[in-house]
A and B are shown apart, each in its own frame.
Chain A
Amino acid sequence: MKQKLPLTSAILTNRFERRTFVLGMAQASVGVLLATRLAYLAIFENDKYKAASESNRVNLSLIPPRRGWVLDRNGAALASNRADFRVDVIPDRLVNPDDTLSKLSGLLGLTADKVSDIKDKLDKVRGFQPVEVAAKLDWDKFAAVSVRLPEMPGVIPQRGYSRYYPTGPSVGHLVGYVGPASAEDYEREHNPLLITPGFKIGKDGLEKHFETRLRGVPGARRVEATATGRVVRDLGTREDVPGQPIQLTILGGLQDYAARRIGLESGSVVVMDCATGDVLAMVSMPCYDPNSFSDGIGRIEWKMLSEDDHVPLRNKVLRGLYPPGSTVKPLVALSFLEAGLDPKASVNCAGGLRVGNRVFHCWNHHGHGQTDMLKGIYQSCDVYFYHFAQQIGMDKIAAMARRLGLGQEFPMPYPGQSYGTVPDPAWKLRKYHKEWAIYDTVNATIGQGYMLVNPLQQATMVSRIASGLQLTPRLMLDKHAAPPPSMGFAQEHLDLIHAAMNEVVNGRGTAGKARIPIDGVLMAGKTGTAQVVGLQHGNGKNVEWKRRDHGHFICFAPFDKPRYACAVAIEHGGGSPSAYPIARDVMTYLFDPAKAMAALEELEKGWGGNVQQRMAARYNTFAAQYGASAPRAPDEAQASQVVEDENKPPAAPAAPQTDAAPPAPEPDAPQPQPTPSPASGGTQAGGAAPNGGQ
């Protein structure tokens, strides 16, 4: 063991001095370390940190591009943009959401249901997705929010553009609507534009289909901003590039007129140009208002729309499938002519026809007497068609139906169409593994049974019959399109059908009230009444709305030189009298807008105002009744899903209405002949044994 020296104060002093030196050295080396680190940060990593500091300092905020306009064929706007002031909140940046919301609702005067809507959305959206609080603000409210920004982090007031549909519900199904991008949209595209407050993408219809064309290129504003987002100064702005417009074949005025003219009914109107196939109007009513849909769907509006049995969310032109009823008779007659049937060939209608061991009734069970093709069409005699359809055969009729557009899908800028069914023996075998029966033919010739069409097909059918041209409905205006080829029908066949259809309106037919009030313009048409439920449920007239007959009317004018073709389908209208007055007025509008408008305004007085006024009144009723207690509205994604589902084709009818006995007579139909009630359909089904198709 080494002997320890006794410690003296001299040793300790010496030790102190040595250790102080060590401490000094340690301090110096820390100094050197710090200097080195400083040099590393400031010199070697200077570029990196300079960039980081620059990206802190400069705040690039995107300016949502103005959306391309949707124009009608004359260049009038169906969808435009208008400048407005708006306020959004970004959930991630909210410090105290409840407090901020209550401040905002005080400043902006928000109602309780609106506040609940916003709270729902705040709960639902991802933190980075801006939520609209209010749009279309006046300057005072906008300024009131702007000056209080420092106490409300996460609130973003801005001036921008919002989508505007001048005619509102009239173009809802045609154009679609816009809305904030969903989280899925953002994940798919990862474009910061999608989460820029105020930016909206197409959610439905043309707005969705032409999204890339309509969107445009965002502008950008470079500002120097503090960490909390307060703008210190502007560094420069790049203007946005507005989206490209799209021009439709639609005639804006006609579209709006037709939408208003449908009135309280649930139905659709399609008008086509007989020379080109241009769709001049494509209306499905009732409809949501795309203006308020684009602002976000509120709970009251959603309740109002989803509870409406007139299915305002469904585009009935493309997605509504109906038995066409007697509107197929010109088509069937044309197939007879093509098959070589002499139009003079006649059959005696005694009110019914025995097929096998069953009696199929004519709608007029008093009978039409001796009936040839002309009379068969204008009087809509069922027995004539029962008789000759058996003779000619279903295959010929089905081929003609397809040739004229039934059962076909047309190239339209929408996510899909319900194209329905043109039944024939092969189809039935494939679908039901059953042999075609004679009563199937009988049903099909009067547009009942398995046959299902949509209104666009009906319009195409009548336009092809009217023009003899192979017209395809076209929505996008194309002035250089090649003229459509001929259908290859014999002119005298067409003339005969045209004459018969003219007789329907202007002669001894079933729709005398459809005559248009313009001298020198004669409209040709064909009525149709389609049963919805079996005759055992009543006569399709004085029953609950859901069980009433559908009303159809197809027409074209002028009859001798067809320019416009039109198809009207009214759901549960109680038969064709619900349809042809609408067709008459819509066609009148094409020739004399003022006269048509006068008639409409008279009608609207009885309906409680125009579409917007009625919707506003209904909204107020709902708001007063439910207020904020209405169930929450779905978010945009769910809502557009519902709209989509609404527009899916219904499953093939499980039990197609195969009652050959056509619907009941139309009491207000004109009676140009002594024989009673010459409407498109209608046995008083009383004694008629329903043709048990199933």
Chain B
Amino acid sequence: MRRAYVPTGLSRQPWGVLLPLLMLVCFGGAVLYSAAGGHFQPWALMHVARFFVFLTMAMVLARVPQDWFRRAALPLYGLLCVLLVLVELIGGIGGGSQRWLNLGFMTLQPSELMKPGIVLVLAWFYSVLPTGETRSWRAVAPATGLLGFPAAFVMLQPDLGTALAICFGGVVVMFLAGLPLRWFLGAGGAGAVIAPLAFFFALHDYQRKRVLVFMDPESDPLGSGYHITQSKIAIGSGGFLGKGFGNGSQSHLDYLPEAHTDFVFATMAEEWGMLGGLFVLLVFGLIMRWGLKVAMNAPDRFSRLLAAGMTATIFFYACINMMMVMGLAPVVGIPLPFLSHGGSSMMTNMICIGTIMAVDRWSRRSSTGLS
């Protein structure tokens, strides 16, 4: 694959992911440019600039040796847990759901960082767990604790979407770690029983309402159902080819709520139609395929689980967001990776990408070392 006329430093880069990412981010920039009424400000320019900042960060992350990751796993996890508790203690003043800490120069959302954090700590846990213990309770109890603590705290904030994302990342790592299948089936069965109970007793009123409205958006066309209804109108009215760049009436006339963040897919689909939607799906497919391929080729258990877990985290974002805007999932505040405007989610996703790139790098190094 290496060609003589391409510098080594350039050709070594993981173009398999960088190209799709660039396309997605640029496309996102175009959508945000249109959503702002044909202006780079305030979203499009910031979006692309932020991407390059976090891409640099990911490149740096990619050069971190595996050993550092292993060593940092538990302390990082502990730090994030402390921050989560701090959010509860200090941040509680703001009223309602408090999800961030004000550090002065930026607002830090520990729950966002916990998404890659949980994958990292569980990957580390299973890599140090003796192989023979995988079937015993020692394989599941500590992991459940590691997962349950932050998930419970995020639920307390309350932020159902992020809590689910953390759980999803953790469970995928546990699944791939080889825990017996019947445990998952059992947990799934228990979940089916507990879910209705949780729905009536654990969820907040507004969350319960969101679920109910998701079942029947037309029941509340001007209230919570408004988001879903308007989003479906935007996507459905786009047709196959869309209304054309800059012609999206739903987003430009403010019918679509959060047109530049959570519902950016609808904004896009209105103007670019189903074709634009398929393009986004395809690019996400490429990124997922790259992430899983890196995981398959990874040299050891830790890096395998790490790469696959990070891929799953990105996947969860994209999947839930797109299901939400198309009316297949209730409204949970989860942005679409690389398209939605927003620093926190961009940072999380780029940390995931950077980590997978690091795994990719380790596997290449070890394979070259072997050959």
Q: Tell whether A pairs with B.
A: yes
- B326 partner, pick from A8, A9, A27, A34, beta carbons under 8 A: A34
Contact of A23 among B135, B172, B253 (CB under 8 A): B172
A9 close to B253 (CB less than 8 A): no
A437 interface contact, C-beta 8 A? no
Chain B residues with Cβ below 8 Å from A46 are 236-237, 239-240
A306 to B301, CA, bound (A): 92
Closest to A53 in B: B237
B254 CB contacts on chain A under 8 angstroms: 226-228
Q: How far is the CB of A25 from chain B (nearest CB, A)?
A: 10
Complex-state Cα separation, A34 to B319, whole angstroms = 8
Chain A positions 293-324 with a Cβ under 8 Å from a chain B Cβ: none
| Beta-carbon contact of B292 and A42 below 8 Å | no
Given contact pairs A37-B328, A56-B253, A7 touches B132 in the complex (Cβ within 8 A): yes
B371 lies within 8 A of chain A by Cβ: no
Q: Is A15 an interface residue (CB 8 A)?
A: yes
Q: B258-273 toward A: CB 8 Å interface, digit per residue (1/0)?
A: 0000000000011001
Count, chain A residues at interface, CB 8 A: 44
Q: Which of B240, B250, B288 contacts A24 (CB 8 A)?
A: B288
Q: How far is the CA of A34 from the CA of B239 in the complex (A)?
A: 15
Alpha-carbon distance between A380 and B273 when the two chains are bound, in angstroms: 96
Task: Answer yes or no: B138 CB below 8 A from chain A CBs.
Answer: no
What are the residues of chain B within 8 A of A12 when measuring CB–CB? 131, 134, 177-178, 301
Q: Is the CB of B295 closer than 8 A to any CB of chain A?
A: yes
Q: Would you call A41 an interface residue if the criterion is a C-beta within 8 Å of the partner chain's C-beta atoms?
A: yes
Chain B contacts for A17, CB-based, 8 A: 296
Q: Given that A12-B301, A23-B308 are contacting pairs, would A42 and B132 also be in contact in the complex, using a CB cutoff of 8 Å?
A: no
Residue picked from A9, A28, A37, A45, most chain B C-beta under 10 Å:
A37
- Asked if B281 and A34 sit within 8 Å, CB to CB, the answer is yes
Q: Does A52 have its Cβ within 8 Å of any Cβ on chain B?
A: yes
> How far apart sit A33 and B277, CA to CA, in the bound complex (Å)?
13
A42 touches B238 (CB 8 A): yes
Is A213 interfacial (CB 8 A cutoff)? no
Q: Is B195 an interface residue (CB 8 A)?
A: no
Residues of A within 8 A of B109 (CB): none
Please report which residues of chain A, range 19-40, place their CB below 8 angstroms from some CB of chain B when the two chains form the complex: 19-20, 23-24, 27-28, 30-31, 33-35, 37-39
* Contact between B239 and A20, CB atoms less than 8 A apart: no
In the complex, chain A residues whose CB is within 8 Å of the CB of B135: 4, 7
Identify A16's interface contact among B178, B235, B323, B326, CB under 8 A.
B178
Decide: B237 and A37 in contact? CB cutoff 8 A.
Answer: no
B362 CB contacts on chain A under 8 angstroms: none
Q: Which residues of chain A are within 8 angstroms of B270 by Cβ–Cβ distance?
A: 53
Q: Is the CB of A39 within 8 A of B274?
A: yes
Q: Is B312 touching A42 in the complex (CB atoms < 8 A)?
A: no
Contact, CB under 8 Å: B292 / A43: no
> Could you say which residues of chain A place their CB within 8 Å of the CB of B233?
49, 52-53, 56
A16 with B176: CB separation less than 8 A: yes
Asked if A23 and B292 make an inter-chain contact with CB atoms under 8 angstroms apart, the answer reads yes
Chain A residues lying within 8 Å of B232, measured Cβ to Cβ, are 41, 49
CA separation between A57 and B295, bound complex, in Å? Answer: 48
A226 touches B269 (CB 8 A): no
A19→B176 contact, CB < 8 A: yes
Given A16-B178, A23-B172, A227-B254, is A42 in contact with B273 using a C-beta cutoff of 8 Å? Answer: yes
Whether the pair A42, B253 counts as a contact (CB closer than 8 A) is no
Any B CB within 8 A of the CB of A353: no
Q: Which of A13, A20, A27 is within 8 Å of B315, CB to CB?
A: A27
Task: List the B side residues contacting A42 at CB < 8 Å.
Answer: 235-236, 238-240, 269, 273-274, 277
Q: Assess A19 versus B175: contact at CB under 8 Å? Given A42-B238, A225-B253.
A: yes
Interface pair B274/A43, CB less than 8 Å apart: yes
Residues 34-54 of chain B, each 1 if its beta carbon lies under 8 Å from chain A, else 0? 000000000000000000000
**A38 and B326 within 8 A (CB):** yes
The interface residues of chain A lying within 8 Å CB-to-CB of B315 are 27, 30
Contact B236 A34 (CB under 8 A): no
Does B214 interact with chain A (Cβ within 8 Å)? no
Highest count of chain B CB atoms <10 Å: which of A9, A41, A46, A52: A41
For A8, what are the chain B residues with a Cβ–Cβ distance below 8 Å? Answer: 131
A50, closest chain B residue (CB): B237
* Distance, CA A37 to CA B176, complexed state (A): 29
Residues of A within 8 A of B239 (CB): 42-43, 46, 50
Contact B240 A41 (CB under 8 A): no
A226 touches B253 (CB 8 A): yes
Q: Tell me if A6 is interfacial: C-beta within 8 Å of chain B.
A: yes
Output the nearest chain B residue to A228 by Cβ-Cβ distance.
Answer: B254
Contacts of A624 in B (CB 8 A): none
When distances are taken between beta carbons in the complex, the residues of chain B under 8 Å from A54 are: 237
Q: What chain B residues lie within 8 Å of A52 (beta carbons)? A: 233, 236-237
**Is A440 engaged at the interface, CB distance under 8 Å to the other chain?**
no
| A307–B281 CA distance with the chains assembled, in angstroms | 76
| CB of B263 to closest CB in A, whole Å | 13
**Contact partner, B250, options A9, A19, A56, Cβ 8 Å:** A56
Chain B residues lying within 8 Å of A227, measured Cβ to Cβ, are 253-255
B contact residues around A9 at 8 Å (CB):
131, 301
A-contacting residues, B261-307, CB 8 Å: 269-270, 273-274, 277-278, 281, 284-285, 288-289, 292, 295-296, 301, 304-305
Residue of B131, B176, B281 near A7 (CB, 8 A) is B131
A residues less than 8 Å from B255 (CB atoms): 53, 56-57, 226-227
Give the CA-CA distance A225 to B295 in the complex, in Å. Answer: 51
**With A and B bound together, what is the CA distance between A41 and B175 in angstroms?**
34
- Of listed A20, A42, A56, residue having the most chain B CB within 10 A: A42
* Residues in chain B near residue A34, CB distance under 8 A: 281, 319, 322-323, 326, 328
Q: Is A651 an interface residue (CB 8 A)?
A: no
Cross-chain contact A57 with B249 (CB below 8 angstroms): yes
Chain B residue nearest to A46 (CB atoms) is: B239
Residue of A nearest to B248 (CB): A53
**Given contact pairs A12-B178, A19-B176, A19-B178, A41 touches B235 in the complex (Cβ within 8 A):** yes
Q: Which of B145-163 contact A (CB under 8 A)?
A: none
- Is B234 an interface residue when CB atoms closer than 8 A count as contact? yes
Assembly CA distance A48 to B233 (angstroms)? 8
State whether A48 touches B281 (Cβ < 8 A). Answer: no
Q: What is the distance, in angstroms, from A15's C-beta to the closest C-beta of chain B?
A: 4
Say yes or no: B288 contacts A45, CB within 8 Å: no
Decide: A38 near B132, CB < 8 A? Known: A15-B178, A16-B304, A43-B239.
Answer: no
Contacts of B230 in A (CB 8 A): 56
Contacts known (A42-B273, A50-B236); A20 close to B285, Cβ less than 8 A: no
User: What is the chain B residue whose CB lies nearest that of A26?
Assistant: B315
CB of A38 within 8 A of CB of B176, answer: no
Q: Could you tell me if B319 and A30 are in contact, using CB atoms closer than 8 angstroms? A: yes
Q: Looking at the assembled complex, report how far the CB atom of B325 sits from the nearest CB atom of chain A, in whole angstroms.
A: 10
Q: Does A654 contact B (CB under 8 A)?
A: no
In the bound complex, residues from chain A placing their C-beta under 8 Å from that of B319 are: 27, 30, 34
Task: Knowing A42-B273, A53-B237, say if A28 contacts B250 (CB, 8 Å).
Answer: no
Contacts of B274 in A (CB 8 A): 38-39, 42-43
Q: Check B234–A53 contact: CB distance below 8 A.
A: yes
Give bound CA distance, A41 to B237, whole Å: 8
Which residues of chain A are within 8 angstroms of B176 by Cβ–Cβ distance?
16, 19-20, 23
A232 proximal to B (CB < 8 A) = yes
B236 touches A27 (CB 8 A): no
* Closest residue of A by beta carbon distance from B235: A41
A38 touches B250 (CB 8 A): no
8 tightest Cβ-Cβ pairs between the two chains A and B: A49-B236, A53-B237, A42-B274, A57-B249, A15-B178, A41-B236, A227-B254, A49-B237
What are some 15 contacts across the A-B interface (CB < 8 A)?
A: A23-B312, A24-B289, A27-B285, A30-B315, A37-B323, A38-B269, A38-B274, A41-B326, A43-B274, A46-B237, A46-B240, A52-B233, A56-B253, A227-B255, A228-B254
* Chain B interfacial positions (CB closer than 8 Å to A): 131-132, 134-135, 172, 175-178, 230, 232-240, 249-250, 253-255, 269-270, 273-274, 277-278, 281, 284-285, 288-289, 292, 295-296, 301, 304-305, 308, 312, 315, 319, 322-323, 326-328
